[in-house]
């Protein structure tokens, strides 16, 4: 599933292609993705100018000149493909579900093989009350996210810290891959009880989360499974994973000190694979 860095990378690509452009034509080829699409979505979008694109957690928010906002969630396999004006375009695929044509001649296709993505329309003043957005925690890259804020949200929670960080009410937008990476860089075991992450530990974890996400965004997101950039190019942050997907290999610290080999272990938590260094993370 595309995580926050992949969504942010896609947002940046779409911003270049869409900001200031008129949606000349919109074709909706299915009645529903994960949820039913607004019945009049194509009509409401056609003729509108895109004034900006923001992100909240793993959701993209496309602002329009009439005060509407188009919410886009990529789901597990969703991707946005951008074709510039005059560029060769392959035939439409079976899973190209929504097609946007701009007045400049560009075309953007939303492709979602599993149809777990989502789109919805709302007024700009309804964003914070939208059912998919209203209960989200703070943005991990936002100014409101800090050690004391995270510590307060973890206080009293007896679940493993890995599970707590995947709870979107604790912090928004984190997924399995980058939680594994952040816990490694913070030297925290994924099994550690969340309520014990206070004080210096919480500060260290917040900084690790920020660093891992920023590095992934700068690198272009990961390219696991079906994710593609808006321009069709693969991401490549997976080449920099310290622990994720590297069971039985040495982590970067152990490799540097030559004190342990095969230190990375895998365990299953809540049905998901967790990767961690058995030597450094406590």
Q: Is the pLDDT of residue 257 over 90?
A: no
β-pairing, 79-83 with 96-102? unpaired
Amino acid 31: pLDDT: 97
Task: Report which secondary-structure segment, H or E, holds 27.
Answer: strand 23-28
Residue 115 designated active-site:
no
Q: Which of these ranges, 139-143, 183-187, 233-237, has the smallest mean pLDDT?
A: 233-237
Residue 139 within any structural domain of the chain: no
Residue 3 designated active-site:
yes
Residue 65 within any structural domain of the chain: yes
Residue 259 designated active-site:
no
Amino acid 239: pLDDT: 66
Tell me which of 2 and 1 has the higher pLDDT.
Answer: 2
Do 193 and 101 lie in one domain? The reply is: no
Instruction: Please provide the average confidence, as pLDDT, over all residues in the chain.
Output: 93
β-pairing, 96-102 with 107-111? antiparallel
Residue 265 designated active-site:
no
Choose, from 48, 58, 109, 228, the residue flagged as catalytic: 58
Choose, from 2, 140, 160, 250, the residue flagged as catalytic: 2
Using alpha carbons, select from 172, 44, 175 the residue that is nearest to residue 120.
44
Residue 173 within any structural domain of the chain: yes
Q: Is the pLDDT of residue 127 over 70?
A: yes
Do 117 and 39 lie in one domain? The reply is: yes
What's the whole-model pTM score? Answer: 0.92
Tokens at 48, concatenated: 């509108």
Position 220 confidence tier, pLDDT thresholds 50, 70, 90: confident
Structural domain harbouring 36: 4-129
Do 117 and 154 lie in one domain? The reply is: no
Residue 135 within any structural domain of the chain: no
Q: Which one of 211-215, 218-222, 258-262 scores highest in mean pLDDT? A: 211-215
Choose, from 3, 6, 8, 181, the residue flagged as catalytic: 3
Do 69 and 175 lie in one domain? The reply is: no
- Total tally of structural domains belonging to the chain: 2
Position 225 confidence tier, pLDDT thresholds 50, 70, 90: low
- Each residue of 20-72: pLDDT tens digit? 999 999 999 999 999 999 999 999 999 999 999 999 999 999 999 999 999 99
How long is the chain?
282
Choose, from 204, 246, 266, 272, the residue flagged as catalytic: 272
Amino acid 232: pLDDT: 65
Q: Are 59 and 101 in contact (CB under 8 A)?
A: no
């Amino acid at each position: 599933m595309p995580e926050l860095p992949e969504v942010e990378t896609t947002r940046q690509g779409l911003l270049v292609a869409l900001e200031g452009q008129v949606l000349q034509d919109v074709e909706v080829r299915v009645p529903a993705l994960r949820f039913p699409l607004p019945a009049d979505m194509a009509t409401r979008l056609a003729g509108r100018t895109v004034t900006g694109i923001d992100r909240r957690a793993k959701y993209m928010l496309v602002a329009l000149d009439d005060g509407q906002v188009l919410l886009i969630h990529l789901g597990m396999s969703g991707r946005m493909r951008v074709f510039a004006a005059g560029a060769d375009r392959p035939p439409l695929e079976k899973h190209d579900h929504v097609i946007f044509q701009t007045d400049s001649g560009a075309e953007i296709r939303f492709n979602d093989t599993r149809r777990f993505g989502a789109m919805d329309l709302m007024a700009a003043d309804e964003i914070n009350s939208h059912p998919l957005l209203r209960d989200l925690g703070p943005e991990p890259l936002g100014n409101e996210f800090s050690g004391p804020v995270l510590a307060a949200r973890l206080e009293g929670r007896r679940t493993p810290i890995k599970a707590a960080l995947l709870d979107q009410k604790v912090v928004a937008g984190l997924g399995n891959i980058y939680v594994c990476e952040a816990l490694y860089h913070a030297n925290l075991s994924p099994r550690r009880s969340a309520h014990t992450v206070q004080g210096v530990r919480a500060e260290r974890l917040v900084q690790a989360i920020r660093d891992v996400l920023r590095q992934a965004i700068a690198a272009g997101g990961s390219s696991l499974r079906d994710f593609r950039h808006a321009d069709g190019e693969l991401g490549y942050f997976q080449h920099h994973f310290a622990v994720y997907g590297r069971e039985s290999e040495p982590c970067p610290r152990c490799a540097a000190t030559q004190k342990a080999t095969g230190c990375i272990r895998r365990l299953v938590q809540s049905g998901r694979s967790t990767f961690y260094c058995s030597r450094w993370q406590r």
